[in-house]
Structure 1
Amino acid sequence: MAEQQSPRPGYRAVILPISALLMATAFLIMGSGVQVLALPIRAEILQFSNITIGLLGTGYFAGFVVGCLFDPRIVQMAGHIRTFAALVAVASAVVLLHAIVRDPIIWILCRFLTGLCFAGISLVLESWLHDYADNTNRGVVMSTYVGINLTVMTIGQMIATGFEPSRFEALAISSILVSFAAVPIALTRSAQPAPMMQVRLRPRYLFQLSPAGFVGCFLIGMAHGAFWTLTPVVARSAGGGSVGYAAWFMSAAVIGGALAQAPLGKISDRMERRVLLIIICGLSALVGLVVIQTLGSSYAHWAAFFFGAVTLPAYAVAAAHVFDFTPKEDIVEASSALLMVNAAGSAIGAPVSAGFIDLMGGQGLYWFNALVQVVLIGYVVWRMRIREAPSEDIKVGYDFAATSPVLSSSASDLERGLGNGRR
């Protein structure tokens, strides 16, 4: 008689031990959602130029890159809980500075600090989740984590609509929510993960492994940086100054991207990833042009939904293509480097797209996106003529954990997760 497998643990048994982590995530991302909508709109009300608003995005993404480089050392010295509490305190205080100071240079520096803190905060949360998860519960853990991110980001944006952007209340609410994130972590009785390992970063080596994936992650970062930084400003203007219109527009795009991520990842397992990347980049350019035609109408929210569905998952597909050529022992290094390449692209894309908006109005944001997507398509097509697709025996199965927002998590656990997905 065949040996019976032990039943998988129930949902409650899986989630209860990490409830503190998930609660902290909910408060943190909800507070971030308020900022995503409120800060660009407040900056516009303060008569910051579009270029300056773009540079706010540059500050955030530059801080995120620096945080990915140095925050792991802080975790090594202070541990996960103390690092989390310290970074949350700084992130919460910095939000309030936007309500007090009106100097754009100070705002850019504040966004840099916010990016640095959020990189470390996310690093602590995700490395802790990876440390807890195993083959029997990884799907449940990560799907719950992503579902919470999706839900509370939308809630945070809706909260921002209840306050006048020119006043301080929305930023105060964001600070309160971010501060609350420290409470469940500080009081948790769950064991902290093992000390983190330092990872080498060799961008040239990564480019040599997969030029198409490397360049793809950078260009996709340019498009995404423009989207996250300037969409609230463009949508509010198109909606006649309505913060609610901007919030629903952003939320529709975020929901579309989140719902499409896993299906597109699975599809990429069954076909040449570069072909799928070409398809979704082409659709992103085309749907962006549809957004231009519908901006200001109720149909724009549906256009935003489909725009997010074909734009936001592109990074996961490009990263998975890089992993197909990456030796197992270098997966963690590749993950961390790709994250920073993507953030570097975001830091550049935000102010450049602002220049397009200055020249063409709100539609310039989507013409910029179309230009980036066309350049990426051209480069990938050229690379396909030079290099064949990876064979099925070395192709890595799609793993959502490998394409989550912070990739420089616990080295041993991330390697194990990807190794189990290798076919």
Structure 2
Amino acid sequence: MKHGNVENNIVTPVVGLTFFAVASGFLMSLIPLSLAHFGINQSLTPWLASVFYFGLLLGATCIQGVIKKLGHRRAFIIFLSLVGLTVALMLLIPHQVTWLAARFIAGMAVAGVFVVVESWLLMANCPKQRAKRLGLYMAALYGGSAVGQLAISVLGTEGIQPYLYVLGLLFLATLAPVLIRSGQPISHDQQSINRKEIRHISRPAIIGCIVSGLLLGPIYGLMPSYLSHSSAYAEHTGLLMASIILGGMLVQPAASAMSTRMSKSLLMAIFCLLGCLAVMGVLESTSVVMMALSLLMLGASSFALYPIAITLACDSLPVEKMVSATEMMLLCYSVGSVLGPLLATTFTQASNGLIIYLGVCLITTCIYMLLKSAETISSGQKPIAG
């Protein structure tokens, strides 16, 4: 393998991520819906979401050293195993303090999973190949998450059995890096991004990652409760959550293709505008079908931002900086994810407070990205640079 080249085997991260995504998607919705069974107050829901993303945030600051020391494959095994241990801990000690601690540790471990897989796939010298690989990554992540959401209806949310299914899926995810030992990228050549390089990373890329967290934190953490407490759609919670994730999966090929052909900041503006239309659709829905389609559009717009933003950030960086870049972008995403559920709860006086919050995030981001895109065009920069 050539130095800096990435002719690595991407089967390991994609297969492992797919099983992890099914487990994680199921678990994200299972936790808020199963609190009552374990005697935990429902008011803990936003705190469980925020503490998870706080763990994600802290984890994103220290992953590079682990990968550099152990390599991508071993780090992947350790992080997946740690997520499984936190689920087991929640079952063994069903107490709110234990659950908060477990979700915090899980957040740190999931940060490791994301940085390992993203950097593994982004280690390509060609921007087009990076975009394709990241599109594959997002499709596997959101496709698996959609299947996990559908599992709510099939496997239920009562008792410990659903959590045992989650543990089984995490075990299958770990088998991929355990059994496939070849093809990981060279880790010892990784370099950190210095302060001068940070100043030159695209601002729309950083904002795109933060806003992605502001949107997805509440969608994962609060949307299941919002839907389950809606008398009209309560029995369709799993299906409607799957619609959101399915939208995120289906949009990835289009987002990947378009990101190499037009300004990435303009593309993010377009998806935010689509999200605003989706929010209006959710608020005006009169049937399950209309609600599902609106949430599909909401998922497409919300989940498209992160891959576009991260490829924009990596466009001008060498392969040796990929782990550091993905770590930094995940840190930005995590900041948004920590703040998102807490900010969304400030809108709860309104009956559709969560949806209104998402709409405010989307419209303000749309305006910002349009302004940045206009600046890029007026300054004569290449549109692809964002």
TM-score of the pair, normalised by structure 1 = 0.75
- Matches of 2:127 and 2:261 in 1, distance apart? 22
- Which of residues 278, 283, 286 in structure 1 aligns to 2:277? 286
SS of the equivalent of 1:360 reads: coil
Gap change, CA 1:177 and 1:384, over 3 Å in 2? closer
From 347, 350, 358, the equivalent of 1:360 is 350
C-alpha distance in 2 between matches for 1:38 and 1:383: 39
Match for residue 372 of structure 1 among 361, 368, 377 = 361
Alignment correspondent of 1:36: 28
Does residue 238 (structure 1) correspond to residue 227 (structure 2)? The answer is no
Alignment counterpart, residue 264 of structure 1, candidates 246, 255, 265: 255
Distance in 2 between residues matched to 1:378 and 1:140, nearest whole Å? 28
Letter of the structure 2 residue corresponding to residue 89 of structure 1: S
1:330 Cα deviation (Å)?
A: 9.3
**Cα distance between partner residues in 1 of 2:73 and 2:330:** 24
Q: Kindly provide the CA deviation profile for residues 313-340 of structure 1, in whole angstroms up to 9, marking residues without a partner as x.
A: 123344455556x565896355432221
Could you say if the C-alpha distance between residues 36 and 295 of structure 1 is closer, same or farther in structure 2, counting changes exceeding 3 Å?
farther
Q: How many residues align?
A: 377
1:418 corresponding residue in structure 2: none
Structure 2, unmatched stretches of 5+, are 1-6
Of residues 257-266 and 32-41 in structure 1, the stretch that sits farther from structure 2 once superposed is 257-266
Counting aligned pairs with the same residue, the percent is: 20
Partner amino acid for 1:255? L
Change (3 A) 1:87 1:331: closer
Question: Would you say the 8 A contact 2:282–2:295 is kept in 1?
Answer: yes
Is 1:312 the counterpart of 2:303? The answer is: yes
CA distance in 2, matches of 1:124, 1:86: 11
Larger radius of gyration: 1
| 1:419 counterpart residue number | none
Name the SS of the counterpart of 2:384 in structure 1. coil
Letter in 2 for 1:225: G
1:278 and 1:330, CA in 2 relative to 1: closer, same or farther beyond 3 A?
Answer: farther
1:289 CA displacement? 2.4
Tell me how large the CA RMSD over aligned residues is.
3.6
Q: Are the structure 2 counterparts of residues 210 and 239 from structure 1 closer, same or farther at C-alpha, using a change threshold of 3 Å?
A: same
Partner residue, 2:3: none
Structure 1: stretches of 5+ with no match in the other structure: 1-13, 398-423
Instruction: Label 1:201 to 1:161 Cα distance change in 2 as closer, same or farther (>3 A).
Output: farther
Greater alpha carbon shift after TM alignment, 301-310 vs 375-384: 375-384
- What is the SS of the residue equivalent to 1:316? helix
- Distance in 1 between residues matched to 2:119 and 2:165, nearest whole Å: 27
Give the aligned partner of residue 25 of structure 1.
Answer: 17
The TM-score, its normalising length taken from structure 2, stands at: 0.82
Aligned-partner Cα distance in 2 for 1:262–1:18? 17
Q: Indicate the residue corresponding to 2:217 in structure 1.
A: 225
Give distance in 2, aligned partners of 1:21 and 1:323: 19
1:48-67 correspondence runs (5 A): 48-50=41-43, 52-67=44-59
Aligned partner of 2:192 among 188, 199, 202: 199
Taking a change above 3 Å as real, the CA distance of residues 220 and 92 of structure 1, as seen in their structure-2 partners, is: closer
Q: Per-residue displacement from partner, 1:193-233 (whole Å, max 9, x unpaired)?
A: 3224242364x964665444433432332122111211111
Check conservation: 2:151, 2:238, Cα contact below 8 A.
no
* Separation of aligned partners in 1, 2:143 and 2:91: 26
Which shows bigger deviation, 109-118 or 333-342?
333-342
1: CA distance between counterparts of 2:369 and 2:138? Answer: 29
Alignment correspondent of 1:408 = none
**Offset at 1:255?**
1.6
| 1:367 Cα deviation after fit | 0.2
**Residues 206 and 214 in structure 1, CA contact (< 8 A), matched pair in contact too:** no
User: Partners in 1 of 2:20 and 2:345 — Cα distance?
Assistant: 28
Equivalent in the alignment of 1:176: 168
Residues 180-204 of structure 1: CA deviation (Å, up to 9, x unaligned)? 22223222242543224242364x9
Report the secondary structure of 1:97's partner residue. Answer: helix
Aligned counterparts, 1:2-401, within 5 A: 19-43=11-35, 46=39, 48-50=41-43, 52-129=44-121, 145-196=137-188, 197-200=190-193, 202=195, 206=198, 209-238=201-230, 242=234, 245-294=236-285, 297-322=288-313, 326=316, 332=322, 333-357=324-348, 359-361=349-351, 363-380=352-369, 383=372, 388=377, 391=380, 393=382, 395-396=384-385
Please identify, of 268-277 and 154-163, the stretch whose mean Cα deviation from structure 2 is larger: 268-277
Cα distance, 1:388–1:335 mapped onto 2, change above 3 Å: farther
